[in-house]
Amino acid sequence: MKVLVIGGGGREHALCWKLKQSPLLSELHCTPGNAGIAQIAQCHGGDAVEVARKIGADFVVVGPDAALAEGVVDRLKAQGIPAFGPTQNAARLESSKVFCKELLRKYGIPTADFETFEDAEMARAYLSDRDDETPVVVKADGLAVGKGVVIARGRKEAVAAVDEVLGVARATMPDAEERIVVEEFLEGEEVSLIALTDGETVVPLAPAQDHKRVGEGDTGPNTGGMGCYSPVPSFTPELHEIAVETMLKPTVEALKNEGIEYRGALYAGLILTRGGLKVIEFNARFGDPEAQVILPRLQSDLLPLLLACAGASDTPLSQTPCEWTPDATLCVAMAAAGYPGEVRRGDTIIGLDEAESGGALVFHAGTAQRDGVCVTSGGRVLGVTALGRDFLQARERCYHAVEQIRFEGAHYRRDIGWRTLNAEGGARSAE
Ligand code: AMP
Ligand code: GLY
């Protein structure tokens, strides 16, 4: 089977790496790909649907949210090419926060209290009545690569945040409507739980914990994600069950009830508050870097699972194996100078072979090949992942690999997994 993966980040490198192991695969292609993906797949430029047609793809796996929101799955279907990922209409669960929040409210799925506004004026008027002490979250409606969200400390910051989030949203999606969500600030530990679904069956994958802020101790601006690990010991089997039964399954059901068949990856961004588990957001895709820690733990073949979601397999999703290793994974994102702001590109990366020969998986994100040399070409440059028999071993191996790699201006967080490290370190010293 000829498979085309759309995207060029660490998530897509992890997808390609895992798909490459499938006995069902004959050829692996990617568009646009990156320097790491190019070592295991044929990379192509140009329009994704054109690429799929040109190479005669049997199946397409869509990685990024922007491609889903633009309707690439619908365009592929119109050409008779099956694809993994929700249609444009179903992907509104991520591409419109207003749509997502209203769906959650209508079907009683636990989430932060919120109000939605049609324009900046109305949002500002509402916020001007608030006090200066209660934090509040201001979000632009559309996709904004994790940057359309401001956690304001009170009224003044919240009023200013309206223009800020709209500015980001305008820069990302100039034609989108300028709606705003204002929501209650929730405090707690976040967990990403991604499920695969064919619109009926919901198969949860292993949970992961991402670190979204750029700085150690979870400080500084939000990013796409600076590092991840799986499993997440604090996300107990009971919480897992609550998330699946009261959040993931009811959301697929709710969409169905609205006449929307959701097929693909359904990513629940969850937060464990004092008042219980709540949904912060849904994404319509695999997380990045979440995919980089989840896929290396998946023991089963990924391709039949993705085919079943798309309805392109004779075996239904409910009967397709999905087995996990108990081993732990940890991934550290190495970012370019300036990330998450304006980034510098073109710096030579060294030490990749050394990191890999020690057993780590080095997933490329913003990398390119120039004159036979691997150079930086994006914000998050590499996702370095290691497996270990437990969290501590995975963490140690991962940071050892990260230390082998160098490029000018490289920065990364040294505290990925700090919550589990504190809990496990504490447990060990008490032994
Ligand atoms: P979103 O794009 O909605 O996922 O928001 C990005 C990040 O902002 C989330 O992963 C959280 O870390 C944070 N965030 C969003 N909404 C809230 C909220 N209501 N309370 C606290 N933090 C939030
Ligand atoms: N790592 C967060 C995301 O993929 O949205």
Say if 174 falls within a structural domain. Answer: yes
266 CA from centroid of ligand 2 (Å): 12
pLDDT of res. 145: 60
Q: Which atom of ligand 1 is nearest to the CA of 183?
A: 19
Domain boundary, last residue among 151, 184, 217: 184
pLDDT of res. 116: 92
Say if 96 falls within a structural domain. Answer: no
Report the CATH number that the domain containing residue 394 is assigned in CATH. Answer: 3.30.470.20
Same domain assignment for residues 14 and 29: yes
Domain boundary, last residue among 158, 184, 210: 184
pLDDT of res. 167: 78
Q: Which atom of ligand 1 is nearest to the CA of 146?
A: 2
CB proximity list for 158: less than 8 A, separation 6 or greater: 127, 130, 136, 138, 150, 152, 182
Q: From the CA of 147, which ligand is nearest?
A: 1
Is 60 exceeded by the pLDDT of residue 430?
Answer: no
pLDDT of res. 427: 61
For residue range 30-64, what is the model confidence (pLDDT) as tens digits?
999 999 999 999 999 999 999 999 999 999 999 99
For residue range 221-246, what is the model confidence (pLDDT) as tens digits?
889 999 999 999 999 999 999 999 99
| pLDDT band, residue 149 (cuts 50/70/90) | confident
Say if 98 falls within a structural domain. Answer: no
pLDDT of res. 144: 67
For residue range 294-309, what is the model confidence (pLDDT) as tens digits?
999 999 999 999 999 9
- Ligand 2: lining residues by beta carbon, under 6 Å: 210, 224-225, 283, 287-288, 290
Same domain assignment for residues 281 and 151: no
| pLDDT band, residue 179 (cuts 50/70/90) | confident
- Calculate mean pLDDT across residues 311-324: 98
Same domain assignment for residues 327 and 271: yes
- Ligand 1: lining residues by beta carbon, under 6 Å: 112, 137, 139, 146, 149, 151, 183-186, 190, 212, 222, 269, 280-281
Same domain assignment for residues 128 and 198: no
Percentage with pLDDT > 90 across the chain: 85
Say if 97 falls within a structural domain. Answer: no
Say if 100 falls within a structural domain. Answer: no
Is 70 exceeded by the pLDDT of residue 148?
Answer: yes
- Atom 3 of ligand 2, nearest CA residue: 287
Say if 154 falls within a structural domain. Answer: yes
Same domain assignment for residues 268 and 321: yes
Same domain assignment for residues 323 and 387: yes
Same domain assignment for residues 147 and 245: no
Rounded Cα distance between 173 and 188, Å, is: 31
For residue range 326-380, what is the model confidence (pLDDT) as tens digits?
999 999 999 999 999 999 999 999 999 999 998 999 999 999 999 999 999 999 9
Same domain assignment for residues 117 and 196: no
- Calculate mean pLDDT across residues 89-107: 96
Q: Which atom of ligand 2 is nearest to the CA of 283?
A: 5
62 CA from centroid of ligand 2 (Å): 15
| pLDDT band, residue 86 (cuts 50/70/90) | very high
Q: From the CA of 222, which ligand is nearest?
A: 1
| pLDDT band, residue 387 (cuts 50/70/90) | very high
Same domain assignment for residues 193 and 179: no
CB proximity list for 226: less than 8 A, separation 6 or greater: 210, 211, 212, 213, 214, 332, 333, 335, 380, 412, 413, 416
pLDDT of res. 221: 85
Say if 106 falls within a structural domain. Answer: no
* Domain region containing 166: 113-184
94 or 147: which leads in pLDDT: 94
Same domain assignment for residues 176 and 194: no
Domain count, the chain: 3
Say if 200 falls within a structural domain. Answer: yes
Q: From the CA of 189, which ligand is nearest?
A: 1
Same domain assignment for residues 147 and 8: no
- Calculate mean pLDDT across residues 405-425: 94
Report the CATH number that the domain containing residue 162 is assigned in CATH. Answer: 3.30.1490.20
Domain boundary, last residue among 184, 216, 236: 184
37 CA from centroid of ligand 1 (Å): 31
Report the CATH number that the domain containing residue 63 is assigned in CATH. Answer: 3.40.50.20
Same domain assignment for residues 351 and 225: yes
Q: Which atom of ligand 2 is nearest to the CA of 289?
A: 1
